[in-house]
Structure 1
Amino acid sequence: MSIAFVAGTTAEIIKLAPVMQELRDRGISYHLWSTDQHVSGMRETLDNLGLPQPDRHLLPEGRRSHIAKSRQVPGWVASILLGALRDRRALKADLRDGTKPIVVVHGDTFTTVLGALIGKLVRARVGHVEAGMRSGDIRHPFPEELNRRIVAQLATLHYAPTAREVANLRRERARGEILDTGANTAVDALRTMLEAAPDEQGLPERFGLVTLHRFELVTDSKAFREILQALSASATAEQPLLMVAGQAERAKIDELGLGGLFGEHFRLMPKRPYAQFLPLVKAASFVVTDSGGLQQECAVLGKPCAVHRERTESHQGLGENVLLTKLDTGAVKRFIADWESYRHPSTLHVHHPSQRVADSLASALKG
């Protein structure tokens, strides 16, 4: 096996899964190395996607814990890097089959940077899926924008979602192959999973779906309080809001004493695996989120979506069914009041980006 995918979050697994499945269908084997950035939900996500569990964990079992707070990051990063240095011969052996190895990373997380560094450590080419996305401001979102720029300097196989990202990489003089995949690989994952997703019972006839989870927002107490207050004020019996929240968001809600904002019309729901989350996306009238990935999914679905961020690296859907709020809670309230005007036709079946990535990887193995 000469290909290793490095992933640590459920979002990375979801977006890399269609590429891994494409390779598997072509008889090309690969390894999956996990940084265990996310522990909760990872096993179930892989099972739901029909993928085997990781071939290698880059952390020993006793040191794996879900990275939910910023103060956990430095120790986790140090453990991953020190472990990779210690085990570099074993990592190289995983990829030794007579061809020059490739390590594939995705997106803009700390795992993306760690995976790219590990790729360099084992003298592999680094492939970056979702390459070239830029917000134009290194502070927004932070650290994701910085992570993307670092990986662009380490990768030599750049898989860019659209021509816009290709132009970004060429302007930065990125080395190696730059491929326009036509869309984000999330499109393929979304199409496959939606086709199999059952309708969820017990949901309101009309509702808005809310996800707010990025470090940038959750660690900003003032901004997090303001958006939750605005959402609570906008939720009504005729148009309730359902907020899906993980450990970090719930801890922040408790810390700020905001539990009283939730009730019958503004409901707090536990985070769930991707296969169980998609029925909510499918049934929702509109979405309010700070997730670039969910923004992209809404863009191809034509689902009205407000992205609550100062800037976004993803430009899919902007000016059509997606509104960038620039952290203006007034914009969020206006969007909720007028979400129907943001409807747009779905383009879910137009693009097949994972095929293009798999084509490139297969070609690179022969080169």
Structure 2
Amino acid sequence: MGLTVISFILGTTAELIKIAPVYHGIAERGVRPKIWFTAQHVDEVADALADLNLPEPDVWLVPKDQARNLESPAQVPGWGAQVLRTAWSRRHELRAALAEDGRPPLVLVHGDTFTTPYGSLIGKRILKARVGHIEAGQRSGSIMSPLPEELNRKLTAKIADLHFAPTELEVGNLRHARGVVVNTEANTAIDAMRLAINQPLDVPDLPEKFGLATLHRFELLSRPDKYREALEILREQSREMPILYMAGAPEREKIRSLGLDHLFDDRFIVRPKMRYLKFLPLVARAEYVVTDSGGLAAECYYLGLPCAVHRERTETPQHLGETVVLTEMRADKLQDFLATYPNRRGESWMDKYHPADIVVNSLAQLGYC
């Protein structure tokens, strides 16, 4: 009897990054996992696949010639309908791909993007597979913050059969979930970081010392007063030390529409977003980070790098402390962090945790690889 086929349903470059160590761990066990891609992100996918030594997706759930970056909530209904329509129309082919032996097939999803509940729903209802959720159980405690991530997680928890939770806190959040809950001890981001952290740093005109900022979430960009306030604070701080603001297309468009271009100069420097294997060595060189990305906040925690999480709530409170600070989107808390960051550097956890190994070993014990 052959081994069960495992498919990842993914849609973003961040998901590709965080499942890469799991994918390779499964492949080392003799199983060739499949990647079925929903195309939330498109522009950087080829580069991410090459950097992470991952193959081209086996299936595009939005046809590749029609795929475009999902950049606003208004695009979600049409995109979601296309994903479900493709999965339904190709259901016999996808079921056959998962049915190479008599054991229940498995679909794995990751995190809290729109793809997470959609992939879970496709796996369970359309493909009749078991569903495993990696990075499960994170909760902020408010369905509205962050929106839609908190809702995506809670919906996925109702569907999944296997829950891979980063710490005991998330295990506790899943105490009422059905199925198997596994504590992976950390986020698989730490394994992905090991792939990237020592890559060469190729950034022209990089200041000797600098702060780093990424502010991109809908929760912030949809509130012009808060977005403007944060940028103005960073602009003021950049008079003391240069700050690199890594901005994607939606942020640059928001800056233009709000008339905030004048805030940027040779001290408060706006740069395009970078590929992960290029970006993480830059993070490691920064003096501090200001972000609204939960993933980047976790990476700063593992590195011991001072980080301000500019959000009202976080789904990973276990990372908070002296090194990682939640600003609650308040100006005074952000300013306090910027005044005190030199004293906030913590210890690195890079050599302590290996969550991808725990995921793969658990799947092996359950007979999947």
In structure 2, the residue matched to 1:71 is 74
1:311 partnered with 2:313: yes
Q: Secondary structure of 2:366's match?
A: helix
1:234 partnered with 2:242: no
Q: Is the 8 A contact 2:191 2:356 kept in 1?
A: yes
Alignment of 1:159-238 (within 5 A): 159-170=164-175, 173-198=176-201, 200=203, 202-236=205-239, 238=240
In structure 1, the residue matched to 2:64 is 61
TM-score of the two chains, using structure 2 as the length reference: 0.96
CA-to-partner distance for each residue in 1:144-192, whole Å, 9 max, x for gaps?
Answer: 000000000000100000000000100xx10100000000000000022
User: Aligned-pair distance for 1:362?
Assistant: 2.2
RMSD: 1.3
| Letter of the structure 2 residue corresponding to residue 259 of structure 1 | D
Q: Is the 8 A contact 1:166 1:180 kept in 2?
A: yes
CA-to-partner distance for each residue in 1:275-318, whole Å, 9 max, x for gaps?
Answer: 11112101100000000000100001000000000000012431
User: Aligned-pair distance for 1:198?
Assistant: 3.8
Runs of 4+ in 1 over 4 A off after TM superposition: none
| Letter of the structure 1 residue corresponding to residue 154 of structure 2 | R
In structure 2, the residue matched to 1:338 is 340
1:155 partnered with 2:160: yes
CA-to-partner distance for each residue in 1:33-83, whole Å, 9 max, x for gaps?
Answer: 110000011110110011111111001123210011111111101111111
1:109 partnered with 2:101: no
1:179 and 1:128 map into 2 onto residues whose CA distance is 10
CA-to-partner distance for each residue in 1:97-117, whole Å, 9 max, x for gaps?
Answer: 112111000000001111101
| Letter of the structure 2 residue corresponding to residue 144 of structure 1 | E
| Letter of the structure 2 residue corresponding to residue 300 of structure 1 | Y
Q: Size of the alignment, in residue pairs?
A: 364
Residue ranges of structure 2 left out of the alignment (5+ in a row): none
In structure 2, the residue matched to 1:276 is 278
Q: Is the 8 A contact 1:289 1:305 kept in 2?
A: yes
Q: Bigger shift: 103-112 or 331-340?
A: 331-340
2:7 and 2:173 map into 1 onto residues whose CA distance is 26
1:23 and 1:200 map into 2 onto residues whose CA distance is 34
In structure 2, the residue matched to 1:256 is 258
1:199 and 1:182 map into 2 onto residues whose CA distance is 33
1:68 and 1:91 map into 2 onto residues whose CA distance is 28
1:195 and 1:166 map into 2 onto residues whose CA distance is 32
| Letter of the structure 2 residue corresponding to residue 18 of structure 1 | P
1:44 partnered with 2:44: no
Q: In 2 relative to 1, CA 12–314 (structure 1 residues): closer, same or farther, beyond 3 Å? A: same
In structure 1, the residue matched to 2:136 is 131
Q: In 2 relative to 1, CA 366–138 (structure 1 residues): closer, same or farther, beyond 3 Å? A: closer
Correspondent of 1:359 among 358, 361, 369: 361
Alignment of 1:316-327 (within 5 A): 316-327=318-329
1:30 and 1:50 map into 2 onto residues whose CA distance is 13
1:280 and 1:212 map into 2 onto residues whose CA distance is 16
Q: In 2 relative to 1, CA 38–87 (structure 1 residues): closer, same or farther, beyond 3 Å? A: same
Question: Identity of counterpart residues, as a percentage?
Answer: 49
Q: Is the 8 A contact 2:195 2:277 kept in 1?
A: no
| Letter of the structure 2 residue corresponding to residue 128 of structure 1 | H
TM-score of the two chains, using structure 1 as the length reference: 0.96
1:55 and 1:155 map into 2 onto residues whose CA distance is 23
Q: Is the 8 A contact 1:44 1:273 kept in 2?
A: yes
2:280 and 2:333 map into 1 onto residues whose CA distance is 26
1:291 partnered with 2:293: yes
| Letter of the structure 1 residue corresponding to residue 165 of structure 2 | A
| Letter of the structure 2 residue corresponding to residue 267 of structure 1 | I
